[in-house]
Structure 1
Amino acid sequence: MELGIGIGWRPEIADAVEGLAGVDWVEAVAENLCPGHLPESLVRLRQRGVTVVPHGVSLGLGGADRPDPARLDHLAACARALSAPLVTEHIAFVRAGGERTASPRLEAGHLLPVPRTRDALDVLCENVRIAQDALPVPLALENIAALINWPDEDMTEGQFLAELVERTGVRLLIDVANLRTNHVNRGEDPAKALAELPVEAIAYVHVAGGVQKDGVWHDTHAHPVGPEVLDVLAGLVSRVSPPGVLLERDDAFPPQSELAGELAAIRDVVRAGAPPAPARSTRASASAAHAPRTGARQRLALAQTALLSALVAGTPVPYGFDGARLRVQARALAAKRADIVAKVAPELPGILGDGYRPAFLAYARSRPLGDGYRRDALDFVESLLAGENGTDGVPGAETRRRLARWWKERSGARPPGRTTRFLRGLVRAA
């Protein structure tokens, strides 16, 4: 299916997206949608004939566990509600631990890279086939950006993706900004990756902005698309005419005119570099399925749990990893978590002012993300008022009273533990 030029639909820019000329399709984050109550903006776009593609971010197909049936059901429901021609996800893991490793369940709150090893590929292929069987439309998977390298990898990114396609028939969502990121952060040549890819399997392409700091490229989706990313796009479209190209923006949203300008720049690159379109089958032929080799899931689970624990719980750096680079990744994860909690609970930055971010980062160093970001906000306030996690508590009686009142209004009914009883005493005192 030919999609054309599109843009990522986000609630913050819904009006701008509706008013942009020349937008053929949009992509919406599946986890932010309720299939039975779609945002009115998306409904209006669908009524105008604009294609909407659900884009998942939490399935974790690259993880050691089999895909969560509830998450697959949600993704399938989004596809049906939107009459989508396909759905997309990421080649990544987002959680680890649990029963398989006899350790606490850990959530990254972010997409983390899968090791390019035979074990990881076997597990990924089986997980992809499970997902394909559960979805009513074709699945396409996106390459991700990474700050870290796994030690002892067997394949390049292009080789890994090519074998994934051969074994499963899955389509690819190629993010050229992520290829650029991996060039800076991991020393990987985008041209080589593109040369090794089965370009006929590309369903569409992502383009996004980022920023380089201290020799590290951060794939922010909050900066304009730079010439270095457009150069990678030009390299791709010189090899194949992708069915669709989409601009992503997730934060620091610019005016509509700037979005229009970025779309125009993308359109110019696509038109200038497009070769004759090759014949394209609707689905790549998959080789015979086979189960992961004995122990592959267990070995992958242990490796991913050790890495994620080092990133979010402060445990030792696993053997073979670059400790300095892991610290950069850990800080990036904590900063992203602080930003999301600030959006979920905007009152907290208002109460704490400039002290919000350092206090949250101190809390996050020893308290991994647990049961979602709303629970995270409550736990953060509990830790502040209890003086836990190496903090000195919250200065000022009035600030403590405001935080205690905020916590009480949102905590809901649950069995009162030690911290709860302590906080209730603070509320009574306030």
Structure 2
Amino acid sequence: MQRLGTGIGWRPEIADAVERMPGIDWVEVVAENVCPGHLPESLRRLRERGVIVVPHGVALGLGGADRPDEGRLTALAERAEALGSPLVTEHIAFVRAGGPLTASPRLEAGHLLPVPRTRDALDVLCENVRIAQDALPVPLAVENIAALIAWPGEEMTEGQFLYELADRTGVRLLIDVANLHTNHVNRAEDPAKALAELPLEAIAYVHVAGGFERDGVWHDSHAHPVPRPVLDILTDLASRVDPPGVLLERDENFPEPGELERELGAIRRAVEKGAQERAAGAGAWSPVLPKSAAAPAAEPSPARQRLALAQAAMLSALVAGTPVPEGFDPTRMRVQARALASKRADVVAKVAPELPEILGEGYRAAFLGYAQGQPMTGGYRQDALDFAGHLLFTGRFPDAGVRRELREWWLERSGPVPRSRRPVVRAARAARRVLLRRG
């Protein structure tokens, strides 16, 4: 695996700072946020300097019951080629459920949700990973995720699950030490035990990020400083194996560049400390066993169907208010449901910033009320349109001016072609301008 060095997650808000930071060997971009034909100038300049850029997918849903979507795989491959990347990465998670396998409506989580660590889920995940590997032009690495909730009846630990995945498919691993810490707090899972069970030589690189604890629950926010326990897990990992790359993730609430540089320095020191322990003989490594080949099945397997039903029931409880499936912690499910709704509100506000401007202080309460009974069935942009349409239909905002602005916004975006681009609208506006000039 190629040596990457020290990196940082590239985000538009810190693009200029990243370009000026010393010691940045590579960056990672959210794959769905870049267009192959229109790369940001900052990324172009970084590539020209020889900085490696790795696309990191969030929407493929390799842990879901469905086979990976061909269109999403093609898009991920195009981004890898456009960026000249040595690999691409995704998550061991499911992000949608329902649909033909369950004869129920398709639901979108808008978030990464954990797969059950069962034989059924592992069989489906391995098949999905093989499909993705065959479709991508470069190697694939998959990331362990953070979780607020645990599935009942799990048959393996996280380390065992990841080991078997790498053993059966040859896939590389992106190990997020912040997620190991999250699962330690939320699910009482020992990070050291997980590291001891991992196929360490399968590691492509490592993520480091911050979060916060509230009411005994750790939230993997990517918006707070990296805490000492996460750095300690990084040191433990580096005492066992020399990671090819380590990357700092920060998605919002960006601090001054100097603070990011100090965090990168702390990460380097944590890795150096682990290397010293490894050199002294304190660490150990485990090999990756040879990849075993298996052809994808032509028809949905019983394992896929069982997994589809389980994931649909769990996601429906989180986003549609259906009963919590047996064996899940109802309190944790409520926490997760609130977190999903809150994230929906935040992301919709980003992709459609006009809505908070139109609705003012009432935006968030209105959206959370809408989300309680309206699960997301498409992407976030469709969610924004559905939310606005819901408000217009129900008459939630009595103010005539707000209704008028909201209606104009919705009409502008709800058709196949924006109203401002339709020939009749353009002609009418042109005629109006002529009349105004004549007047």
What is the one-letter code of the residue matched to 1:341?
A: V
The CA distance in 2 between the partners of 1:282 and 1:401, in whole Å, is 64
What is the one-letter code of the residue matched to 2:305?
A: Q
Q: In the alignment, is residue 112 of structure 1 matched against residue 113 of structure 2?
A: yes
Tell me the CA shift for residue 156 of structure 1: 0.3
Aligned to 1:94: 95
Q: In the alignment, is residue 300 of structure 1 matched against residue 307 of structure 2?
A: yes
Query: How much is the aligned-residue C-alpha RMSD, in angstroms?
Result: 2.0
The CA distance in 1 between the partners of 2:37 and 2:161, in whole Å, is 37
Q: What's the CA shift string for 1:145-197, capped at 9, x where partnerless?
A: 00000000000000000000110011100000000000011110101100111
Q: Is contact 1:201-1:284 (8 Å) kept? A: no
| Shift in CA distance, 4/137, structure 1 to aligned 2, threshold 3 Å | same
SS of 1:100's partner is coil
Tell me the CA shift for residue 283 of structure 1: 8.0
- The number of aligned residues is 410
Q: Is contact 1:122-1:291 (8 Å) kept? A: no
Aligned to 1:285: 290
Q: Is contact 2:92-2:115 (8 Å) kept? A: yes
Aligned to 1:327: 334
Tell me the CA shift for residue 37 of structure 1: 1.8
Please list every run of at least 4 consecutive aligned residues from structure 1 whose deviation after the TM superposition is greater than 3 angstroms. Answer: 276-284, 290-294
The CA distance in 1 between the partners of 2:81 and 2:146, in whole Å, is 29
Q: What's the CA shift string for 1:84-105, capped at 9, x where partnerless?
A: 1111000000111101110001
Q: In the alignment, is residue 203 of structure 1 matched against residue 210 of structure 2?
A: no
Q: In the alignment, is residue 378 of structure 1 matched against residue 385 of structure 2?
A: yes
The CA distance in 2 between the partners of 1:282 and 1:53, in whole Å, is 25
The CA distance in 1 between the partners of 2:74 and 2:40, in whole Å, is 19
State the TM-score, normalizing by the size of structure 1. Answer: 0.92
Q: What's the CA shift string for 1:89-140, capped at 9, x where partnerless?
A: 0000011110111000111110000000000000000111111111111110
SS of 2:388's partner is helix
Name whichever of 368-377 and 122-131 sits farther off: 368-377
Name whichever of 266-275 and 279-288 sits farther off: 279-288
Alignment of 1:26-37 (within 5 A): 26-37=27-38
Q: What's the CA shift string for 1:381-414, capped at 9, x where partnerless?
A: 2212222xxxx71142222222222222222259
Aligned to 2:136: 135
Alignment of 1:318-397 (within 5 A): 318-387=325-394, 393-397=396-400
Q: Is contact 2:199-2:286 (8 Å) kept? A: no
Alignment of 1:27-426 (within 5 A): 27-274=28-275, 275-276=278-279, 285-289=290-294, 294-387=301-394, 393-413=396-416
Q: Is contact 1:63-1:301 (8 Å) kept? A: yes
Question: Any unmatched runs of 5+ in structure 2?
Answer: 418-439
Q: Is contact 1:171-1:283 (8 Å) kept? A: no
Question: Any unmatched runs of 5+ in structure 1?
Answer: 415-430
The CA distance in 2 between the partners of 1:186 and 1:281, in whole Å, is 25
What is the one-letter code of the residue matched to 1:409?
A: E
Aligned to 1:424: none
Tell me the CA shift for residue 289 of structure 1: 2.4
The CA distance in 1 between the partners of 2:22 and 2:285, in whole Å, is 29
The CA distance in 2 between the partners of 1:372 and 1:146, in whole Å, is 22
State the TM-score, normalizing by the size of structure 2. Answer: 0.90
Q: What's the CA shift string for 1:353-404, capped at 9, x where partnerless?
A: 22111110010011111222222112112212222xxxx7114222222222
The CA distance in 2 between the partners of 1:386 and 1:165, in whole Å, is 50
Q: What's the CA shift string for 1:278-306, capped at 9, x where partnerless?
A: 99999862124266795000000000000
The CA distance in 2 between the partners of 1:217 and 1:211, in whole Å, is 6
The CA distance in 2 between the partners of 1:61 and 1:161, in whole Å, is 14
Tell me the CA shift for residue 215 of structure 1: 0.7
What is the one-letter code of the residue matched to 1:85?
A: P
Tell me the CA shift for residue 208 of structure 1: 0.3
What is the one-letter code of the residue matched to 1:10?
A: R
The CA distance in 2 between the partners of 1:63 and 1:378, in whole Å, is 26
